[in-house]
Structure 1
Amino acid sequence: MTSVIRPGIGQTGAMRVALCQIEVGDDPKENLDRIVGAIAEAGDADLAVFPEASQVRFGNVLAEAAEPLDGPFVTAVRAAAREHGTAVLVGVFEPAPDGRVYNTVVGIEATGEIAGSYRKLHLFDAFGDHESQHVAAGDRPVVLDLAGTRIGVITCYDVRFPELARELVDRGAEILAIPAAWAQGVFKEEHWTTLVRARAIENTTWVVAVDKAPDRTRPPKGAPGGVGRSRLIDPMGVVLTDLGPHARIQVMELDPALTEKVREFLPSLSHRRRDVL
């Protein structure tokens, strides 16, 4: 099939973003099929955003599924991105030198080229979970030049650390993308919806927050993950869509010009007291 390459946000002024709230199970092949199918279903979207750990759900032996970014899993996603002319952000696992894995979000251009990747900085050693037993932490924030814009990547538990979002905006991020596999639990859904909205409001920026669909079965180890509720939030904190608790793909339009308009009458970023903070 002929590749379809469309201009990105910098050329058209508008961006179509697909929030891909897919189910993620224990079989990487089935998960890959869901990803490829979702990219096709996203149609003419400029960017498709998938959850954290879309390769295989937590609770499995992550090191057995982990691959380098030139391995077959990401290569297949790159082929789908190229075929449909859609840039992709997707969560995978890379081998780490100490036998653990990196929890990585890879950015793939509509040409199929890898734009870059981000390794999760803050590991979920909370609520009785111990992500750091199996996952090695990354060592730097990342802003990707992807789909004609600059996207700062925040992975799941990272969203609880507002200084990361602010650093990404300071580095020129125009959109914050938050892929997640948010663990289920008491107050967890409320935390998710509150935190992703707060990151938009305090930074007067767009937020694309994509969680996986809730687990229908218990994983091999650990608590079920995914609360759904993937959201597109504008720079004023308006929630333009909320995907609810079921597997769903929705394409929404994002207007980058709104950011500048909001910052004209709400210039909170320029009011920061850098002399004391």
Structure 2
Amino acid sequence: MIEAKSQISIHDIHRFWSDNPLFAEDGAHELGSPSWFEEHAKIVINDGYAGHFDSRILPPPENCGRVLDLGCGPGFWTVELLRRCKIDSMTSADLTERALELAKARLAHYGLAAEHRIENAEAMTFSNASFDHVNCQGVIHHTPNTSACVAEIARVLRSGGTASISVYYRNVVLRHWHSIGAIGGALASMGAKLRGRGREGIYRERDADEIVRLYDGSENPIGKSYDRSQFQALLQPHFEVEKIYYHFFPARSLPFAIPRLVHRVLDARLPFMIFANVRKH
């Protein structure tokens, strides 16, 4: 069962992400420094979107009043939303104080401001209909009760409010990894890996579910992936699904550089993230 992970607690999730802030091992600069923020932004755009920012993630103009960046991590999306949209009121929320510290520092670096809140996405403390738009990128696949998170996103949105939500995508590679895992082993022997958090042997792993979990670290309590029908089934009880699209091919894990055009093809054909633009019923 993809949803029920009752043996894993929010405390487990909090402890891991407090000790392992997102992208902490991916940069050459000191965590939280201006150089690290600049480098991190390049990594996100280059690896996550093959070098091209996708404006479909942004809220529609009519819903830029009160915006929540849920699971803000080190603040990449909080900054991008503020820089790219005319937002009246921005709130960044995360489970850990460490993430909010980094988000605050990032906003200060860019001369931007937001309210910051410690929040559990499964049970937020915001009132009903508090927001016009919720941004939630790569967050709710890291919590025991993902369905509760979706229900909470709907609860804190006003009627007609929108959200951009993404999770790990169970693409053709993951669905058939039991048959093609030897390719991963070959890449590993050539030097393919992810740096830090005990992820160096990820390409040698033969269990697709374990690969999803291991992507964020060997001690990561939970990581889930969804195919399109599973993702839509999560969303449809609460939202009209207006658009589904895909991104993310982790080129930085390969043992060789690939041309940008090739990366864009892989981003489109072998994506590891699925995105949805949704509107509250």
- Compute the TM-score of the two structures, normalised by the length of structure 1: 0.36
More strand by percentage: 1
More helix by percentage: 2
